[in-house]
A and B are shown apart, each in its own frame.
Chain A
């Protein structure tokens, strides 16, 4: 591997030379130190989309006792416009069941045409529609003749039932025909109802999404109207790391498609995989918010969602720490591997989470890291929303009770800087007042909180 790092000596043991060391948390350095400095980066280090830092929940640990502690990974993407965007390889999978007839389908056509307008000739598009039958309206190809593609779109006709599984399958086949490393691959699934034909159960559908995820295909789930299954749609997004949207009104469909497309066009890091390695005496108990983490005796591995320009993604995990002889230790070695849109290659970031074991209990109390604490509160807030949702569903919680719970959570989120999700909760509270679709918006907020992503 070419050595492009000039500040660091060659590291042995098979670690790529482009490994970047950030020991800011070591020995009392403030974890709040400025993370990304484009000017500095331009000086010597290679241009990369991401920076990463591993932070231990407490700088100090009590030497004489075992304890539980939290680890936070903070992955920041530069807000600067660097390099070209990744070309897209997307498939629009459109529900054209009978319930979509009329206004919804007209807006969907408009939205699809809009997507065609936004794409460039370097992008690849395919369109699949499904009802009882699945049709490949347009197989995967470069977006060159936009007028012709729009003609195809305008031929979409409503059908009968909803065969979501097969529709999704066909969409994945289309994107996999051109699933090259340079492309950002995504399936956009729009539906307005429960699956009513073909394979219908949650486990099979989400399992299928999980398989596609392993091939680098993420699914963005767009739920429209009041009849779709929000558990299923959020489950699809969660399993694959795609986004989840609730579209209440047909007129909003084009706008949501535009938002999703613009998000995709600013992604600077995809295929983000994390590996945490622990020394003897530290073991991972839990990784918050990610589907199917692989936890073994000395490591934890999981994937994170694609990261947009200017976004920060955080990942929190819980570890069990045995007694240690007093001294300074690395509690975790974090490695993040990803495909970088800026450098155009696979990159590896590493960071050490360091803590000092001391015998003074008061010192341990003083060492808590407020950033990690806040992230933990956000996760607790997310669990709290889940409980609120369950409470409403089982009617153990009145509308008034739910309102006050959501209000409380909103305050926590505001304090933690999650303004976007805090604002989303306004929609949920409006929905309670109007007797609308509370769960469909709440489940989206919960999912977004669990993704751990926010704009800088």
Chain B
């Protein structure tokens, strides 16, 4: 991986080493490669890939002991509830909401607000499995406000995404898992016996009637993730952002794979290319065997191997003005993965 090599073109043989720091351009600052730089020795964290100076004992981002090796076992996601959170406006503190009842108050509560205007038991936020949020004021002294209006005590009120909440003087907003308005594709973990190399994009289960005309170009996928191993189905990627996760509300919902987080990763596609972002998933996202750093964009190139949960996919460009190249690549890819076909006999470790 030479720093001085000329910019590689977008058309590269699959599997060739690519200096992504050059391909990606200066639009964002890529993490420098592990090892020596002009700045001195750096150490890349084995867990979150954050690059630390050699003087750090623990990763500055995730706290991992840098001299050690992370455990190999992937940790299955145990909670199945929606990853909703409340964000305190004044401090930026986030409070995770769990499925079921979340108590809000000043003492011994799930959401602990240390403010004198918050009652000891102030309110309860109920999160259903489907991700709907209801809030009930428990007769607090200074009241609970949703979008500026005070709730009647002991009366459930539904709270929408981004909704603002006020408990006494504490102001919070509902964040996390914004259900995107675009289509939802169910990529179920049903084992598909055929390798859909040349298969047409997965038909949309919902009528395109709900789409605006402005989203017209989103109709046909420009790229796709073709499954090569594991239970995953094909993931078509259209222009814009595609969210991937286990939870309903993502553009691509992957069910039946415990190693996929509620909201696992995003694919951001444009004419300039397709980027993959791990949004902080528990078990991570792999590109050609390397784990992505959370919330850092990774440019995908044709032939890249993408690991999500128990499945491995091949990244491909779908638009076919160059039939020769595309076919060649596809067939290459096909031979590569033959024989590795879906052997998902290993049952995922269930939540401990």
Contact = CB atoms under 8 A, between A and B. Distances in A.
Interface residues of B, number: 37
Interface in A37-63: 62-63
Interface stretch (A71-79, A240-248, A274-282, A393-401): A274-282
Per DSSP, chain B at the interface is: loop
A329 B63 contact: yes
A297 interface: yes
A390 interface: no
A278 B71 CA distance: 21
A352 B53 contact: no
A328 B55 contact: no
Number of chain A interface residues as a range: 35 or more
B118 interface: no
A9 B54 CA distance: 12
B275 interface: no
B352 to A, nearest CB: 5
Listed residue (A62, A279, A331, A361) with the most chain B CB atoms within 10 angstroms of its CB? A279
A286 B72 CA distance: 33
Contacts of A286: 112, 114
Contact of A279 (B59, B75, B282): B59
B70 A326 contact: yes
B91 interface: yes
A62 B70 CA distance: 14
A354 interface: yes
B59, B63, B68 — most chain A CB neighbours (10 Å): B63
B65 A330 contact: yes
Interface string A305-319: 000000000000000
B145 interface: no
B52 to A, nearest CB: 10
Interface stretch (A93-101, A156-164, A176-184, A288-296): A288-296
Given A293-B114, A295-B91, A327-B70, A280 B61 contact: yes
Nearest to A383: B107
Interface string B60-88: 11111100111101111111000000000
Contacts of A333: 58
A13 B53 contact: yes
Q: Which of A283, A286, A330 has the most CB of B within 10 A?
A: A330
B78 A285 contact: no
B286 interface: no
Interface string B311-336: 00000000000000000000000000
B112 A279 contact: no
Interface of B: 46-48, 53, 55, 57-65, 68-71, 73-79, 91-94, 96, 112, 114, 280, 282, 294, 351-352
